[in-house]
Amino acid sequence: MREKAKLEDVAKLAGVSPTTVSRVLNNRGAISNKTRQKVNAAIQELNYHPNEIARSLFISKTNLIGLIFPTTAHPFYGEMVFHIEKILSEKNYKVLICNTMNQAQKENSYLNMLLANQVDGMIVGAHNIGIEFYQKANLPIVAIDRKVSETITVVSSDNYSGGRLATEEILNQGRTKIIHINSVRQEEAPSSYLRRQGYEDVMKEHGFPYKTYELELPFDTKGKKQILSDILNRHPDLEGMFVSDDLTAALALSMIRKQDKDIFVVGYDGTEAVTTCLPELTTIVQPIKAMAQLAVDLLLKEINSGFKDIQKNYILPVTVRRGEK
Amino acid sequence: MREKAKLEDVAKLAGVSPTTVSRVLNNRGAISNKTRQKVNAAIQELNYHPNEIARSLFISKTNLIGLIFPTTAHPFYGEMVFHIEKILSEKNYKVLICNTMNQAQKENSYLNMLLANQVDGMIVGAHNIGIEFYQKANLPIVAIDRKVSETITVVSSDNYSGGRLATEEILNQGRTKIIHINSVRQEEAPSSYLRRQGYEDVMKEHGFPYKTYELELPFDTKGKKQILSDILNRHPDLEGMFVSDDLTAALALSMIRKQDKDIFVVGYDGTEAVTTCLPELTTIVQPIKAMAQLAVDLLLKEINSGFKDIQKNYILPVTVRRGEK
DNA sequence: ATGAAAGCGCTAACAC
DNA sequence: GTGTTAGCGCTTTCAT
């Protein structure tokens, strides 16, 4: 295995100094055409690739962005990560991906790893360690759907309206016996709380009883099914369910079909993947692409402004996607 | 924004030499307990994080792995990337993610980016540029579902058997008028060709006519639907379809339902997400986690053996997942 | 238009 | 046990 060529090798082969090669590479300063050609020829011949690591070390900038999310295996995050990476790569940034699987310990060690690797910034959509860990990082960070904070910018979609819309969608079907299934409330994640609030407010306004299940949903399908089954049994006359995650909603839907019940299910997220698989599911659509775009824009602004206080909360609107008949 | 502490700052504060700090950090050599404590205290106080970039530069190893895939927005790749990252992170490797969106130009520039960033190796599941680009990289690489090559290890699942199984599954329903829908054949991607071969061989063996559509499927759902609709119209008496991608199969399924036809659809991939959304779909399940594990194992072996010739093709078995009634 | 030299933050000989 | 020194591959003053 031939050793990798370095800048010095190129310089020697081209008969110039390392400085000159560097100038050609970075298009800086004035270079004669003849020199440029010699250098380029040498680069070609040696199949030379500049060492970004060395470059990063010198300029104290890596163009590396860390992404911390629960798991790309979930379509919501898979699509979110896709959009973020796509937008960042167009601006010449590279993306380090971290799947925390909702484990605080992993999130913490990923955070330290990213700091050690000198990322220029981070986009965080995981919710398990205190915001103070991130504040200590002293780095441009944008959070997605996280707790409001004095120093970290948050991008989210309108979870409260989402909860309201979902509930109204069911009520519009003439159904009033409606429960809500949510993930367990996490201190740092207001989204589930807001969705719940939206649901409960609407029910209260109409004077209907409401019931929210905050579940610590297990990762495996079997466990989820068991829990859902118990809930269905407990509500034999149920007419509607607002389930704050499409995948769990899908599970509920298929159980309902099997039991030949008539329960109207509304889900949450509205990813491409789930919409393709389950076009009949009514769901609240989060603007994933727009959230990704905004998060990136804000992050790059922080990075380029020297991390000054443009911290704020941004809330993007959600929409209803009515299931196809 | 306080400047980042560096090793030298820690050394000064602790009243020792940089070397000693480095030794404490890396647990190398013999250090007195007292010194270790002083150093650790200084590290704490300064909130010091070792600069991995500088370290990488010196030791000529980044512990960085590049992942090149079409898009994490597709559940198959989303899940694949999740598993790969999870396994790699346990071995202290970091992951740079690249979404090529099936564009050769992007794939090529990602490849160069990864080389410039001194990745220790790559796992590639995209199929748009010639294998020779990768060979030039002169780096440990494992390909997933790519063309067989003399110098690059390939991990795939048994696409030929998958094609056969899918077809037999439909025949077992007593259906014989079966078509196959595949993505357009790409020179470097044998998987679609092998699935097609499996389908056609089984049909031939039974003496039934066969028809394969190799489609350049557009990215948008609308376009896909149009194409599928045309195909359905062309085959009014169709009894079965083998569609070599679950998402496209899901689209076909919902159209078939709407038209109230009786066509048995078998898909391909068997991801968690699609299985959850569409438990009634029969599909060929690729062993995503096992493929990820094997790909990582082989890659790390190449990296640690100094990239010697353990190149080979590994084919993992697929299974049938029968749709729930 | 080009080159010499210093240094980004770290580690590994090699001393003592 | 601990420190001194050189250097990983690059860029950038500061010369010329």
Share of chain B above pLDDT 90, in %: 78
pLDDT, tens only, B3-54: 789 999 999 999 999 999 999 999 988 888 999 999 999 999 998 999 999 9
Instruction: Count contacts between A and B (CB, < 8 Å).
Output: 162
CA dihedral (B294, B299, B302, B308) in degrees, to 10, reads 80
Distance from CA of B98 to the nearest CA of A (A): 7
Closest residue by Cα to the C1' atom of nucleotide D13? A19
Q: Which site among A82, A85, A309 would you substitute to test the B interface, given the most B Cβ atoms closer than 10 Å to its Cβ? A: A82
Q: What stretches of chain A show up as alpha helix (H) in DSSP?
A: 7-14, 18-26, 33-46, 52-59, 75-90, 104-116, 131-137, 159-171, 190-206, 221-234, 246-258, 272-277, 288-304
Distance from CA of A140 to the nearest CA of B (A): 11
* Strand D and B60 CB separated by under 7 Å: yes
Tell me which chain B residue has its CA closest to the CA of residue A63: B117
Confidence category of residue B308, pLDDT binned at 50, 70, 90 = low
Name the residue facing B81 among A72, A110, A112 (closest C-beta).
Answer: A72
What CA–CA distance (Å, rounded) separates A20 from B120?
A: 29
* Strand D and A18 CB separated by under 7 Å: yes
CA triple A75-B73-A189, angle to 5 deg: 40
pLDDT at B220: 79
* Strand D and A28 CB separated by under 7 Å: yes
What CA–CA distance (Å, rounded) separates A39 from A141?
A: 40
Q: What stretches of chain B show up as alpha helix (H) in DSSP?
A: 7-14, 18-26, 33-46, 52-59, 75-90, 104-116, 131-137, 159-171, 190-206, 221-234, 246-258, 272-277, 288-304
Are A49 and B136 a contacting pair at CB < 8 A? no
Phi, psi for residue B315 in degrees, rounded to 5: -120, 115
Radius of gyration over every alpha carbon of chain B, rounded to an integer in angstroms: 25
Tokens of A9: 């090798």
* Strand D and B19 CB separated by under 7 Å: yes
pLDDT, tens only, B131-149: 778 888 889 999 998 875 6
Are B53 and A49 a contacting pair at CB < 8 A? no
Domains in chain A, please, with CATH? 7-58 (1.10.260.40), 64-156+288-315 (3.40.50.2300), 159-285 (3.40.50.2300)
For residue B118, give the nucleotide whose C1' atom is nearest its CA.
D9
What's the CA A219/C1' D9 distance, rounded, in angstroms?
46
Q: DSSP readout, A190-212?
A: HHHHHHHHHHHHHHHHHT---EE
* β-pair partners for A243: A181
Are A138 and B97 a contacting pair at CB < 8 A? no
What's the CA A22/C1' D14 distance, rounded, in angstroms?
16
Q: Which residues of chain A have pLDDT under 70?
A: 1-2, 148-149, 185-188, 219, 306-311
Tokens of B126: 């995209």
pLDDT, tens only, A55-83: 999 999 999 999 999 999 999 999 999 99
What CA–CA distance (Å, rounded) separates B266 from A113?
A: 43
pLDDT at B1: 45
- A74 SS3 class: coil
Name the residue facing B53 among A1, A62, A101 (closest C-beta).
Answer: A62
* Strand D and B8 CB separated by under 7 Å: no
pLDDT at B222: 87
pLDDT, tens only, B158-204: 999 999 999 999 999 999 999 999 987 665 677 888 999 999 999 99
Distance from CA of A2 to the nearest CA of B (A): 8
| Stated pTM of the model | 0.95
Q: Which site among A68, A248, A277 would you substitute to test the B interface, given the most B Cβ atoms closer than 10 Å to its Cβ? A: A277
CA triple A185-A190-A195, angle to 5 deg: 85
Are A117 and B94 a contacting pair at CB < 8 A? yes
pLDDT, tens only, B261-299: 999 999 999 999 999 999 999 999 999 999 999 999 999
Share of chain B above pLDDT 70, in %: 95
From chain B, the residues in CB contact with A275 under 8 A are: 221
Residue A98, C-beta contacts closer than 8 angstroms, at least 6 positions apart: A66, A67, A68, A69, A106, A107, A110, A113, A114, B85, B89
pLDDT at B146: 81
